[in-house]
Each structure stands twice: as C-alpha cells, then as structure tokens.
Amino acid sequence: MASLSNLPPSNFPVTTAVSVLRPARNLPAAVIHCWKPLTTCNFYSNPPKTLFSTSHVRKATAVASTIEIAPLDAVISYSLPLKKVLIPIGLGTEEMEAVIMVSVLRQAGADVVLASVESDLEVKLSGGIVIVADISISECSDQIFDLVALPGGMPGSVRLRDCKTLEAITKKQAEEKRLYGAICAAPAVTLLPWGLLKRKKTTCHPAFFDKLPSFRAIKTNLQVSEELTTSRGPGTCFQFSVSLVKQLLGESASMEMGKFLLMDTADEISRKEEFNEVEWAVDHTPRVLIPVANGSEDIEVVTVVDILRRAKLDVTIASVEKKLSIVGSHGIKILADKLLKNAAESIFDLIILPGGFSGVERLQKSRILKKLLKEQVSSGRKYGAICSSLSILQKQGLLQNKKATAHPSVVSTLDSNTPVISQVVVDGRIITCQGLSSAPEFALTIIAKFFGHGRAKSVATGLVYEYRAS
C-alpha cells in the first residue's frame, strides 16, 4: 500500500482527562459526541487495563441500552452530533473489508451500525467467518446516516444489490448529497445497477473493472468523486477507510488514525527477515489455530483468517471464553469455530496469538492455552504473535534467543537483543508481526513459508495488495 507512505509512524493519541465512550445505538438526542485530536497522552503507551471489563459498561438511564468503553476520544457534548455510519453485510460479504471499515471508523469516533440484509443477524461471510450484526437493515430505513459504506465480496455484493431497503437508503443518501462509498466488487455489482455511478469517476476490483463505464473507470486504489468514494479490494481497505475518516471527521482525524494503524512506509522498515522459500513445508494441509477472547483485536483476527483460508490453510478460530461468541476490541461480535478446550484435542502446525490489550490479558489467563504453547514449542512446531500478544510469549519464556517484532508499546518491554524494527519477523519456528496494517503481510509471509512465494503472490493479487518477497 505504497500510497500510504506519507503517513508517519506513531500511535493514536487520546486524552485521559475524560471518559472514553462509544455511544449506544439509541441514545437520546441530548447525548452527543465531539471528536478532536489531542496529544496529551498515548493510548498504547498507557493502555486501559480493563477495556472490556464489567466496570466499563454503564447502563444508560434514558434507554434500554449500554455505553461501552472504547479507545476513542469521545466526550459528552451539546454542540456537535455524533457521525452515524451504516455498513451493511450479507451472505458472502468480504470479511476483511467489513471488519476493517467498522473498526477504523469506530476507532476514529463514528457511531457505526453493522446491519444484516439477511433474515438473521448471524451472517456467514466469504471466508467462512460468522459475524453477528448489530441490527437488521429493516431497522435502518427511517434513519439518517452521514455515511453509507458497502463492503464487497461475492456473493455478498449481490445480496446487498438485491436488498430493496438498502437500495432505497443508499439512493436517498446520494440524492441528498451525503457521503456513500463502496469497495471491491460492490461499485460494479451493487452501485452500478442502482444507477449511482452516473457522472462519477469510479474504481473497483480488477475482476469487475470491465463492468464499469469505460470513460469514467479509473485504475487506482482509491477514487473520490464528490460524495462517492470507491476502492479496489481488501488490500486497499485501510486506505479506503482512512479516506472515509478524513471526509467524515476531517484531515486531523485521518492523520491520527493512520498513525494509530501503524501505516509505516515499507521503505523505512524491513518487511520481514530473510527466509528460505517453503521452509515450513508439510505433507498435509497446514493446520492453524487462532485462539480468541473478548477484547481480541478484530482486524488482526479476521484479516489473518481471511487471507490464510484463501490459500487453503485449515484455520480454526477457538474461543477461550465459555461460549463461541466473542466481542472483539471494537465491538464486533465474532462466532468462533470451537471452544479452545475442544480444539486442544487436535495438533496444529502453527498457533497464532492475536493482539488487543484486553484480549491478551484474557488469553494470558488461559491454562489450556499455556499448555498448548508449551507443547507446541517442545514438539518443534511453529507459533507466532501479533501486536501486543508477544507479551504472552515473553511471560512464558518462549522468546529466549529469538528475534521478534511487536507493537511499539510492547517492544520497549522486551530484552534488548529481541526487538527488530520490522513489519514481520521470522526467526526459525516463530513468526511475529507489528500489528493492524501489517496483518496482511504477516498472513502472506505464513503462506510463503508453507507453500512458497508463488502462492503468496497469487493470493496478494486477489487482495489487490502489493506483496514483495524477501
């Protein structure tokens, strides 16, 4: 994503002087939001220790709803209404695109409604991940949104296209000159039949590009044409989402979000340590375990699972909680494939720990996971960590004489010989990742380790992501 190279590396600053809230869906009009970039403290250098603890969920007295603590610079105000965003999903929607958009926009301070166009709130997305929507699209028909953003994926884009309620909402959005956008297949498959690309310069996924009106089709990762914003695919979704933040909340908000996402320029850091092609080759379909908990980083979980499944790896999402449903760090509800205690009966070629400070704390407490990691190491099998989850490996003594990378907040706690300033680091049987925007590179590196650079490049092409083998 070279077009993001102008965003400097840093973290997303928020204030500690106010309560940090993400308003519930139906708060009274008096409760509104004011976003402004502050530099009084760094969220990741002093993160809240109980991001999703019960003490951080307060009942709203005026409505039967809740207000959740989230890493947003939000305050109670009486001057500026909260920006409302609608992101619809359907059977076969591209999960990376949906989750990245929801997470980024919520982190920036928008009130994002994830709405199902299906009859059920539980929606199976294109890579097999099941996400639970906030509400049904039918509940959105009489609401006004500052932005309507459509993820792509097939047949997800067709399911969105065939939803009459969503069509009416989006057409009204365009008629009233409010922001709307689409990514991947959605511009060609969904917006074009609705007549919403007229007199608009547009881009989309290369596989659907020939369906766009040729004289207004633009081969670019991001295209903004008045109220309409379009983009090419999962590999460009961070750029797409940050652009939506800029249009919705201003340039300062988008710059801070770019820093928070660790959108480092690839020229300033090594992308990964050198490794021999197909060094992890196995004589069967590689099996990967991703343990998750309440508070696990949504983007990292969904991105890695989506990309690895595209390469035909056998990926299991396992919940360390007492039930399959977990709530990610940005309020997205994900259904795991199994409980960890059941998944522990199997042997996995690779175990990957996702980040998210609250999720990491909960993973750290799992005795089953601790046992699995020790067995993984003693048996000579592979393991890895993303973002803040490297702290789990360090506490278990699994980083001795190993090079690794992690989120800047964690790097400072590592032994002096361990940290490497890189998006992805491979050292023998361990692979680590800096976090968030580096997650695609992390997943593609895993694919290359098992199958070679050829398959990794093929998957990257489908993502519209620039993969450069070391």
Exposure of 36 in the CB half-sphere (CA atoms within 13 A): 9
Question: Three-state SS for 215?
Answer: helix
Backbone angles phi, psi at 361, to 5 degrees: -60, -40
Contact status, residue 28 vs residue 79, Cβ threshold 8 Å: no
What are 116's strand-pairing partners?
89, 136
Contact status, residue 154 vs residue 127, Cβ threshold 8 Å: no
Beta strands in 184-320, from DSSP E residues, in sequence order: 222-225, 228-231, 287-292, 314-319
Marked catalytic residue, from 163, 184, 237, 387: 387
Question: Three-state SS for 288?
Answer: strand
> Residue 50 CB: number of other CB atoms within 10 A?
13
Task: Name the helix (H) or strand (E) containing 400.
Answer: none
- Under 8 Å CB-to-CB from 397, ≥6 apart: which residues? none
| Residue closest to 431 by CA, chosen among 322, 286, 333, 326 | 286
> Residue 126 CB: number of other CB atoms within 10 A?
24
Backbone angles phi, psi at 333, to 5 degrees: -90, 120
C-alpha to C-alpha distance for 427 and 139, rounded to whole angstroms: 50
Phi-psi region of 436 (alpha: psi -120 to 50; beta: other; left: phi over 0): left
* Edge-to-edge strands, sheet with 84-89: 135-136, 111-116, 84-89, 147-150, 179-183, 228-231, 222-225
Phi-psi region of 94 (alpha: psi -120 to 50; beta: other; left: phi over 0): beta
Task: Name the helix (H) or strand (E) containing 116.
Answer: strand 111-116
Q: Which residue has the tokens 């006004």?
A: 144
Backbone angles phi, psi at 224, to 5 degrees: -110, 120
Q: What DSSP character marks residue 4?
A: G
| Residue closest to 205 by CA, chosen among 247, 264, 156, 133 | 156
C-alpha to C-alpha distance for 45 and 27, rounded to whole angstroms: 31
C-alpha to C-alpha distance for 125 and 4, rounded to whole angstroms: 27
- Under 8 Å CB-to-CB from 421, ≥6 apart: which residues? 269, 270, 405
Per the annotation, the verdict on 387 as an active-site residue is: yes
List active site positions.
Answer: 387
